[in-house]
């Protein structure tokens, strides 16, 4: 169902129910009353997702009469404009009635009660219809002697609408499907998320496969350990809240806010007492929040184990006549290694930070203590003997401590991966031998907020790993979190530490300084972004702009051979070199001089 807002002068109008104009019934309508001026009245319609629209229209109610006897069926709005767009920020009303992104009609004189506006096929989510002042309105205004300064605008204005309509042809830009909550029957670990998708196209009225179509699939997932992700509350005698079931909340309790009249702003609030609905809160103890969107099949979920699963599937298309057909979707599951594995991290020199969370200097090598504690409520779980900590950048292992109290011990194996640290424990963690574990490692942080996610697994088995959950793993560490934050005085620059392998590039083929090695670090990037090498002459002219691919936060290194984006070698001279990011955020460029000679 679409949404509609009826506004006058940027204020919601309680005298006219806008939803009557998009309900499929043209007999339900209201005669418009322009108390704030004819041009102050407008409607904004939202059809939820961008669709390939080709025509917008409206027509009057076929039944009823105006006060002076004119049938509403021939009562045409004499002047109006229509604009369309897909930008929610500009369209969702905030008190303004500006035009949307594209104007598809601006009619100063209209005598047809049924209007259809054709335009080239384009993605449209929002439509805004605005009444405009016309010559007919001005004549009525000048002929009204008893209406005061408002004249015709103080009465029912000419023109009524029984229904708006939008015609589209093709495939919506995206469709969103939220599954029901699936009960798995038992708590399980989650592995990788897979799906099979076929790109399709409508060709001569027939659906055919098109592997090159610009379509995609995006999936978000959350897991839980009970049936409902929300917690419902009822007020008590003292005004506090107590938890109740959803059925009682929905069917037995009274709403807190009660409408006292037809006026949209007339409400009264019931006293907080038994029988009245209180808050609804998210059950974060038993449910994870929605994951980041997965855009590729076969990626690990890294979700907390659970007995229930829910997915949001978004099918997207950048082609009016192509779509993604989701053929199948499946999630790997496996038995638990432990009921839960809690972890928390802190700086090794500040295990209990005063502010309650870990702060680090961006780009500085820092030692961290990563504490783990498994929870077993029975002897069914098999346990684990290895763990992987996702550090985001290469980490250096310092030491392993196990037991209570913690004692330094030698790991069976250490693997320092590109963005993770793998530690094989000398003893297996089981229900019978459940020791606390601490791993101390050093690494650099390049983001304002970095989360050291982790997982435990069995080194001699192909069973799925189990994610480490943030929580209270140790009395010695007080953060209860796997996240670290940058210090408040961290530099806001995205690109830092720009350096060259040589001050003079000599691309003459003698194998000496033929290429320039450029090293730098990228900080606080939310995702991978395209990186551009820019070269400027001393007078400020940009003489080269070379794409260097996409990169993420952390240390980076690229090479440049002294050529511009067309493959032409730059002339000898002195230049200024900069690393730029293709992002909307404001950047402070770092410029370094470089000489080119032959």
pLDDT for res 264? 46
242-278 as b/e: b if 16+ CB within 10 A: eebeeeebeeebeeeeeeeeeeeeeeeeeebeeeebb
- Chain mean pLDDT for the chain: 87
Is this structure's pTM higher than 0.75?
Answer: no
pLDDT greater than 50 at residue 149: no
What is the distance between the alpha carbons of residues 165 and 228, in angstroms, rounded to a whole number?
A: 38
Contact between 82 and 105 under an 8 Å Cβ cutoff? The reply is yes
pLDDT greater than 50 at residue 446: yes
What is the distance between the alpha carbons of residues 296 and 501, in angstroms, rounded to a whole number?
A: 37
Hey, how many other C-beta atoms are within 10 angstroms of the C-beta on 487?
11
pLDDT greater than 70 at residue 498: yes
Least confident of 185-199, 453-467, 493-507: 493-507
152 pLDDT band, cuts 50/70/90, is: very low
What is the distance between the alpha carbons of residues 372 and 404, in angstroms, rounded to a whole number?
A: 12
% of residues, the chain, pLDDT over 90: 58
pLDDT greater than 60 at residue 515: yes
pLDDT for res 153? 42
pLDDT for res 36? 55
Q: What mean pLDDT is predicted for residues 96-108?
A: 89
pLDDT for res 83? 95
pLDDT greater than 90 at residue 30: no
The per-residue pLDDT for range 356-374, each reduced to its tens digit, is 889 998 888 999 999 999 9
pLDDT greater than 60 at residue 233: yes
Q: What mean pLDDT is predicted for residues 365-392?
A: 93
In 155-249, where do the E strands start and end? Answer: 163-168, 174-178, 182-203, 206-209, 215-224, 230-235, 241-244
What is the distance between the alpha carbons of residues 227 and 225, in angstroms, rounded to a whole number?
A: 7
The phi and psi torsions of 130 (rounded to 5 degrees) equal -125, 135
Structure tokens at 351: 């295990």
Q: What mean pLDDT is predicted for residues 119-140?
A: 84
pLDDT greater than 60 at residue 15: no
Of 342 and 1, more confident: 342
13 pLDDT band, cuts 50/70/90, is: low
Contact between 363 and 523 under an 8 Å Cβ cutoff? The reply is yes
Q: Distance between the two ends of the chain, CA-based, in angstroms?
A: 69
Return the top range by mean pLDDT from 7-21, 27-41, 153-167, 224-238: 224-238
pLDDT for res 150? 43
pLDDT greater than 70 at residue 383: yes
471 pLDDT band, cuts 50/70/90, is: very high
Q: Which domains does the chain have, with CATH numbers?
A: 3-168 (2.60.120.260), 174-227+287-334 (no CATH), 230-282 (no CATH), 340-486 (2.60.40), 495-596 (2.60.40.4070)
DSSP 239-291: S-EEEE-HHHHHHTSBPSEEE-SSSTT-EEE--S-TTBEEEEEE-TTTBPPPP
pLDDT for res 363? 84
User: Dmax of the chain from CA atoms?
Assistant: 98
Q: What mean pLDDT is predicted for residues 15-21?
A: 69
Least confident of 27-36, 98-107, 158-167, 454-463: 27-36
SS3 137: helix
């Amino acid at each position: 169902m679409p949404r509609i807002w009826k506004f006058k002068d940027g204020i919601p109008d309680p005298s006219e129910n806008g939803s009557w104009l998009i309900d499929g019934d043209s007999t339900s309508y209201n005669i418009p009353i322009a108390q704030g001026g004819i041009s102050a009245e407008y409607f904004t319609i939202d059809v939820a997702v961008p669709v390939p629209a080709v025509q917008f229209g409206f027509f009057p109610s076929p039944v009823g009469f105006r006060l002076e006897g004119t049938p509403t069926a021939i009562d045409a709005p004499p002047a109006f404009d229509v604009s369309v767009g897909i930008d929610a920020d500009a369209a969702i009303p905030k008190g303004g009635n500006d035009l949307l992104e594209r104007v598809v009609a601006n009619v100063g004189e209209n005598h047809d009660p049924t209007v259809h506006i054709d335009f080239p096929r384009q993605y449209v989510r929002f439509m805004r219809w605005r009444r405009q002042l016309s010559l007919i309105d001005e004549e009525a205004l000048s002929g009204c002697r008893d209406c005061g300064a408002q004249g015709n605008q103080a009465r029912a204005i000419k023109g009524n609408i029984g229904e708006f309509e939008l015609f589209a042809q093709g495939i919506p830009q995206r469709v969103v499907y939220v599954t029901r909550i699936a009960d798995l029957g038992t708590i399980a670990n989650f592995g990788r998320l897979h799906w099979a998708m076929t790109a399709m196209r409508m060709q001569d009225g027939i659906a055919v496969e098109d592997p090159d179509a610009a379509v995609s699939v995006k999936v978000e997932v959350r897991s839980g350990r009970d049936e409902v992700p929300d917690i419902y509350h009822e007020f008590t005698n003292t005004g506090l809240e107590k938890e109740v079931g959803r059925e009682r909340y929905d069917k037995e309790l009274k709403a807190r806010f009660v409408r006292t009249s037809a006026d949209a702003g007339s409400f009264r609030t019931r006293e907080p007492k038994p029988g009245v609905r209180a808050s609804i809160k998210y059950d974060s103890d038993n449910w994870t929040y929605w994951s980041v969107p997965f855009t590729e099949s076969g990626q690990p979920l890294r979700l907390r184990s659970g007995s229930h699963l829910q997915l949001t599937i978004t099918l997207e298309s950048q082609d009016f006549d192509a779509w993604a057909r989701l053929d199948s979707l499946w999630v790997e599951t496996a038995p638990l290694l432990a009921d839960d594995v809690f972890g928390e991290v802190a700086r090794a020199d500040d295990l209990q930070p005063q502010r309650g969370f870990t702060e680090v200097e961006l780009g500085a090598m820092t030692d961290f203590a990563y504490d783990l504690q498994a929870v077993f409520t029975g002897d069914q779980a098999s346990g684990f003997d290895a763990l992987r900590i996702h550090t985001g950048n290469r980490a250096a292992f310092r030491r392993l401590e196990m037991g209570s109290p913690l004692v330094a011990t030698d790991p069976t194996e250490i693997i320092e991966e590109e963005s993770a640290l793998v530690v094989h424990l000398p003893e297996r963690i089981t229900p019978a031998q459940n020791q606390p574990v601490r791993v101390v490692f050093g690494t650099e942080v390049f983001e304002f907020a970095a989360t050291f996610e982790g997982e435990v697994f069995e080194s001699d088995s192909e069973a799925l790993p189990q994610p480490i959950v943030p929580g209270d793993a140790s009395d010695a560490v007080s953060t209860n979190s796997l996240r670290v934050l940058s210090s408040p005085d961290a530099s806001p620059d995205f690109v830092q530490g720009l350096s060259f392998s040589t001050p003079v590039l000599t691309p003459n083929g003698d194998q000496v300084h033929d290429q320039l090695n450029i090293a730098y670090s990228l900080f606080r990037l939310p995702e991978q972004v395209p990186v551009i090498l820019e070269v400027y002459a001393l007078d400020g002219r940009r003489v080269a702009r070379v794409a260097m691919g996409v990169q993420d936060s952390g240390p980076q290194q690229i090479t440049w051979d002294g050529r511009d984006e067309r493959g032409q070698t730059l002339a000898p001279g002195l230049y200024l070199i900069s690393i730029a990011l293709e992002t909307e955020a404001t950047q402070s460029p770092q410029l370094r001089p470089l000489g080119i000679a032959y």
